[in-house]
Chains A and B, each alone.
Chain A
Amino acid sequence: MRNRKKTEEWFFRNLMSAVTYFIILILLLIIWVVFQKGIPALSWEMVSQTPKGGFYFGKDGGLLNAIVGSLYLASGAASLAWLISLPTALFMNVYLVRYKKFLTGIRFLLDVLWGIPSIVYGAFGFALMIFFNLQTSLLAGIITVSLLIAPIMIRAMDEVLKTIPMGLLETAYSLGSTRTETAFVIFFRQALPGFITAFLLAFGRGIGDTASVLFTAGFTDYIPENLSQPAATLPLSIFFQLGSPIPEVRERAYAAAVILTVLILIISLAARLLPRNFKRNVI
């Protein structure tokens, strides 16, 4: 009896640790495979040139249009989302802080919105585009992606603001500051490091998202000059090139996947390290 128990425990313990290391192994495997396949195909030309004629048939050129397009789109979307998210998160934590039930409801809804797949946002963005008579463009892409990342951003900001003690709010009021001043001066400074993390997280999501820009941002060989032009993005460029029957073009897709992965790794590293420099005003 005793022995059976011990065997069972021994078995499950080893199974569980094996499974845990298996997860770490998978991550390493994914990164290794993508890099090992993509790095040989990577060249300076890929990063520094836009596609020349016949790029998608294996001729000269690079992916600069997609890289710049992705950066434009993600920074535009993250900035627009910031403009909606910042007031919402502050509103929740300064104005609504006494209405606990209502606040829980809002958080609940935001969490649910987080789980809505990006293809649905893409389809909604498309419906909006038709409604407002817009063409596929950088602007349409930015609006769609910002809707997608706003819930993520708000919840990340909210998690930081939640930890600020009530005493700070009361002190600010008792010294005669208005609610706006409390929100934008006192709470904002306290939460700034967290806000930067939230921004970068959302930026990373925006740069990697494919399904929502498929309908709305379009695709082009040129770097967009204004908001009404279509913009190429890295994920879509990988996606299109992988569908090509020419092996050389598929190799380039692997190289583009390396560029995208490196960008994401840099952003998530920055999200961990950068906020440390903004802790000056935090008590």
Chain B
Amino acid sequence: MIGRQLIDKLSSGWMLVCTSLLLLLPLAIGTGLLAKSIPVLEHQSFFSLLSSAQWSPMEEKFGFYPFIISSVMVTVLSFAMAGPICLLAAIYLTQYARPVLLRIMHPVIDILAGIPSVVYGVWGILVIVPLVADYIAPLAGSQLTGYSILAGGIVLAVMCIPYMLNLLIEVFRNIPRELNEASLSLGATRWETIKFVLVRKGMTGIISAFGLGISKALGETIAVLMVVGNVVQVPGNLLEAGYPLPALIANNYGEMMSIPLYDSALMLSALVLFLIIFLFNSLSRYLIYKTELT
């Protein structure tokens, strides 16, 4: 009898420790990265780091501005492509299509979500980069390699589709059927019902699904790194090469230990990325939780 009680005590303790460890993880990540980035913060102020466009680690000049702009451009572009596609597909799958299609769509979404990002990168190099170089760039009258913000945006858009689509399908599924029926019985067409009732009712859910898609896009590293060109500059248009923040971190891990403050600067960029995405994610999740409660 005492043995059982003892085992219960011990294992309860173990379970509690595991749970607390996990809950402390965000704090640990934040502190760990902050501790590593303090040297560069002492060297240069935080705001001058973010707003300066000068990037020359050898001279201890670390300006994140070009990387931040590249990240924003790639993310906004990919969202502009994936957002409408996902919204339309989610409406179609939940409102119009036969249930069979939704059953086919679930494994499709699963597989798209499961494909490693490096494979998306390979696909981007094989398909998207030549497409941009041979067909899209000549339209704009430029002769470029195709490794560009645009290519990065397209690859990212495809990568975001499974996440956003999955969430949007859930959002539309959670809207009560009666709402649909009430609107239809008042003489609205199906499209009017969708436009005026369902989209409006699901607005918070839609916005938060988009928010999660955006934060996914913001942090994606390898696939974008492979197609975006990686030139340190403030890109003037979509066909120029860019250098997003995650790519900066991933690309320079090799030499960062040999140059003073370099590793600290990279850790700071990881910290910035972490904070932005954490906040963005929390906000979107908060909206989702709120919609599920009501």
Contact = CB atoms under 8 A, between A and B. Distances in A.
Interface extent on A, as a size class?
Answer: 35 or more
Contacts of B88: 12, 15-16, 19-20
Q: Is the interface of A mostly helix, strand, loop or mixed?
A: helix
A180 to B, nearest CB: 4
Interface in B115-139: 115-123, 125-127
Interface stretch (A51-59, A121-129, A223-231): A121-129
B281 A30 contact: no
Contacts of A104: 289
B118 A91 contact: no
B206 to A, nearest CB: 15
B285 to A, nearest CB: 5
Contact of A111 (B120, B158, B285): B285
Q: Is the interface of B mostly helix, strand, loop or mixed?
A: helix
A117 B221 CA distance: 8
Interface in A79-97: 83-85, 87-88, 90-92, 95
B273 A115 contact: no
A1 B222 CA distance: 51
Nearest to A212: B221
Given A8-B191, A24-B105, A178-B4, A108 B286 contact: yes
B176 interface: no
Q: Pick from A88, A115, A215 the residue with the most CB of B within 10 Å.
A: A115
Contact of A22 (B7, B85, B221): B85
Contacts of A34: 119, 122-123, 126
Contact of B116 (A184, A214, A235): A235
Contacts of B118: 208, 210, 235, 238-239, 257, 260
B246 A5 contact: no
Interface stretch (B29-37, B39-47, B48-56, B234-242): B29-37
Contact of B114 (A5, A29, A150, A208): A208
B140 interface: no
Nearest to B226: A242
B116 A264 contact: yes
Which 5 A-B residue pairings sit nearest by Cβ, starting from the closest?
A117-B219, A208-B116, A123-B270, A16-B92, A91-B15
Interface of B: 4-5, 7-8, 11-12, 14-16, 18-19, 21-23, 25-26, 28-29, 32-33, 35-36, 85, 88-89, 91-93, 96-97, 101, 104-105, 107-108, 110-112, 114-123, 125-127, 158, 161, 165, 189-192, 212, 215-216, 218-222, 226, 246, 249-250, 253, 266-267, 270, 273-274, 277-278, 281-282, 285-286, 289
Interface of A: 5-6, 8-9, 12-13, 15-17, 19-20, 22-24, 26-27, 29-30, 33-34, 37, 83-85, 87-88, 90-92, 95, 104, 106, 108-113, 115-124, 126-128, 130-131, 147, 150-151, 154, 178-181, 183-184, 204-205, 207-211, 214-215, 235, 238-239, 242, 253-254, 257, 260-261, 264-265, 267-268, 272
